Structures are given as structure tokens and as C-alpha cells.
Chain A
Amino acid sequence: MFKQLPNDAAEKVEVILNQQTVLVPLGTTVAAMALAQGLRATRTTPVSGAKRAPFCMMGVCYDCLMIIDGQANQRACATYVRQGMQVETQQGVGPLLGDVL
């Protein structure tokens, strides 16, 4: 669906996307990275379980919510990749919070 044009000047970082390690230029948002890696849906909705993907890319639609470094409901389009970042597709409301929940 998408590809990322090469940018030799940019420093690359390792990001773990759904358990796969990928190399991504710094300055890329998580949403852009996910799309460029061929992820079609980045979450399912809590209401109907429908699949969703980034829509506005400017932080206003809240449809690109993903689990980033263990935290659910992060706007992937407003979060930039960092070395070692863990990114996961979010299912519904996301995982339980902590051990006792």
C-alpha cells in the first residue's frame, strides 16, 4: 500500500513492530512507519471490533491509536519512533492494566 522513499542522510533506529524488528529513519512517526511496513489496520475499535487505520495523520481523529511501549491508546501519528520502541496493534480497549486488573 505504501513505501518509504530512501533517505540516506537520516539516522536509522530499530523499532519492534508486532514482534518484528524494523529499521526506520529517525523523524518518522509511528503511524508512517506502520503504514510503510505494510500494516493495513493499526487497531480495532472498542465498540464493534471494526478495523481502523491512520486517517488524518495530524493528531485530530484519534483513529491511529496503538500500544506503544506497553501503553494503549497512543496516537501513532503524533508519536515519533525511538530506538528500541515497541509498537503493537491495539485490539479494542487494549490490554488489562497491571497485574490485579
Chain B
Amino acid sequence: MNLHEWLPLLILGSSLLTGICIFFLAEEQRGLRTFLNLAGAFIKLALVVYMVVGMARGETYETRFPIVLGFDFVLKADSLSLLLVGLSSGLWLLTTVYAIGYLEHWKNRSRFFGFFSFCVTASVGVALAGNPITFFIFYEFLTLSTYPLVIHRGSVEALRAGRTYLWYTMAGGALVFTGVVWLHVLVGSVDFREAGVLAVVDPSLYPSLTLIFALLICGLGVKAALVPLHGWLPVAMVAPAPVSALLHAVAVVKAGAFGIVRVVYDLFGVQFADQLGLLTPLTIAASITILYGSLRALTQDDLKKRLAYSTVSQVSYIALGVSMIGATATIGGLVHLVHQGIMKITLFFCAGIFAETVHVKAISNMNGIGRRFPLTMGAFTIGALGMIGVPPVAGFISKWYLGLGAMASGQPWVLLVLLGSTALNAGYFLPVLYRAWFRDPDGPWHEEGPVGRLEAPWMLLVPCLITGLLSLLTGVFAGADWSPLSLARIIAMKEYLP
């Protein structure tokens, strides 16, 4: 064993051990808890940076040990996993800071932060998993670690939402389990590999493989909130804002979307999946989800609900990009994995600030809120414009590549979906921006505490501003080396020119 074999495990351990330690802290040990949280987050980020630098030099990092016969536990860093690992570990740090500020006066914080750390461990595990079994292990671990976060308020409503969340995700997990076991029976132990590993199997297995694909995509589609499997997502909005941010931007929906990417690219291989005729149904499902989510978002007055339906819509851009043949579409889908995360987390951070400091949760109460919170609302505006796809914010890059990809793959009707979605995005975000900036406030704000020099507590404000800025920078500097776009390009090249 050397560092190359240990590093993926260390990256997981940095948050897993933190989580375990935090569980055993008493409620009053605030200082120690904060220290552990931040230390864990920084160590993880540092390890990830080290790994990225190493990989740029051509090193490989892989942990592998057998659990039972024909059943290996594999963690492996490749370009695709870097995308999600980088996103998770970066945003975890920011969300941790935000959550510490947000939960200042809540009960059971040790429990919360314990599961919070587990949740990130699971999401990094999903990213690093080197074979379907390991992927499944972390996929289920994610369900378990997010459930206590969803019900953290302990209200009857929260528990009901938790139950819905659980039924959806457990059922999805059961489908993935069935698919993974069946696949293992048919072809034995396989690792994820660029351009897929299943193209070589005997043609008599094709019908079974088609069914396995359907099982896996349906199971993953639950977390990725593909319509009609999206029902849990708007309900789970009762969770505290940092949790919503995490669920929507980094952990849960991304695990689902990432799983779809893995299955299509690294398990079946995009060419082989196309040969089996599996991609068009996925394109259609993704298109329906994009339009449906946006339509439902239009009519929501609750800000978090509107953002939730927006997530339903936006996450399917990833599936859409993946389901179209051609490197350009792939780049669009993959880069959106990162871009959507950064933009959506910004929006949720802002929603949390409004709710926590002045009790504004409904969009109809947001009149003139831009004057009270110029910086927060600025970040929100960047995020919202990005979601619509206004250049030069990150979201524009995604949509641009997706549009080009649709043309290149000979499916111009997808372009119509994209245009329709953009119009709808504008339809549900612009009124919010208009109210916030151009309407007069209805009256004095119901301040939660005394207003300090800053418009909101710094622990809430700073992460929000950073992610807002990042949404802009990833768009402006999309051409730079090691921007998400460049990484997505590398992955796409490996997929199509193996």
C-alpha cells in the first residue's frame, strides 16, 4: 500500500471520521464542533487539490479490496469523478460555513453536522466509486445520511416529507440493486471504464441488458428527479436551507445524474447504448422533465418550492446532454453538472438568508428586497440569470453546448425544448428579479435580530457571495485550463476517441 492506493480512501475518511467524532460531541461544544467541521472540510479540499495536481501529471489513484468473492470495493479517481469530487468538496466547505451560521440557535446540532459530514462522504464516494457495486453502496449510504437531515426540524410536516423522500429513494435504490446484481450475474465483476465495458458481450444477452439499463436508469432517475419520479423533491423543501442547498446542488440529485452519466458512458458506452436503442427514450424523458419542471415552477409562490421545480428541470439538462450522441452534447451535459450546482446553491443560500433574517419565504413578499439585501440579491440575480442562460454566466455555456450538440446529433427538436425551457426560466425568474429590484417594499422588514454592519450574518453572506461570483467566473473563464468546461472536454474526448 502506498499513497496512491490510500488517497481515495483518505478523501472519504476526512469527512467520515469528522462525522463520527461530531456525533459524540455534546451540544454545548460549539467551538470544537466548528473546528472539526472546518478542519474536515479543509483537509478534504486539500487532498482533492493534491489529487488533481497528481492526476494532471499522469498519476493514478485507486483503492481496491475484496469484500466477498467476485465483489470488490473499488475507489478510483478518473476525470469524470474529479468533476463531482471537486464540486462536492468545494461546495461542502462553503455549505459548512453557511450551516454553522444558519443553525446557530437550533437544537441537536451535533446530530445535524454528523449526518452532514456523512452526506458529503457518500457523495464523494458516489463520485469515486470504480464499479457498480461500490457505486450502489454509496448511493444507499447517501439516502440514509440525508434522511435525518430532511427530518431535522422534527415537526410532523418534516416527518411526513421524510417519509415521502424515503419511499421514493428506497424504491429507487431497490431498482438499482436489482440491476446491479443482475448485471453481475450476467457479466461478472466489471469496473467502470471510458467508452463502456459491455459492448463486447454476447448478443443473446442484449434483451437482458436492455432491461438492466431500464432498471438502473429508473432507479437513478428517482434521485435525479426525472418526471414522474420527481415527487420527493418539492416535498423535501421543509428541510433547513443548507440541507436543501446540499440536496439540490451537490449531493442527492447529482448522485442520480452522475449515476446516469456513469451508466451510459462508463458501463454501457454511449455507442453501445445507442446501438441498443436506449438513448432516445432517455432524451424524451429528459425533455419532458425539463419542460414539466419549468411549467410547475411558474405557478409556485413559495421561493424554495419554485427553486425546487427549477431543479427538477435543470438537472435533466445533464441527462439530456448524456443521451445525445456527439462530443458537443456530452460536454454540455457534463459541464452543467458543475454549473447547475454552483448556481443552484447560490440561489438556495439567498433563499435561506431571506427566510432566516427577515422571514420572507413567499415570492409575493419579496417586493423591494433588493434594497435591504443588495449583495445577497446581487448574487441571486447572477444565479437566476445563469439559470436562464444569459451570457456570460455559467449557465449560458451549458446551454450553448447542449444546443450545438442537439444539432450535431441530428435532433433539432431538442433545440425547441431548450428554447422553450429558456423562455420558461425567464418567465419564472425575471418576475422575482423585478419585484426585488424595482418594486417598493410593502412595509418595514420583520427583523429576526438587530441589523449589524452587514446586511446578514457574515457566515451566511460570504459563502453566498463566493458561489455567486463563481457562477460568473466559471462562465467568463470557461476557456481556461482546468475550468469545468476543459475537464468536460477531456472526458468527452476520451468517450468518443478511446
A and B bind: no
Chain B residues proximal to chain A, CB less than 8 Å: none
Chain A residues proximal to chain B, CB less than 8 Å: none
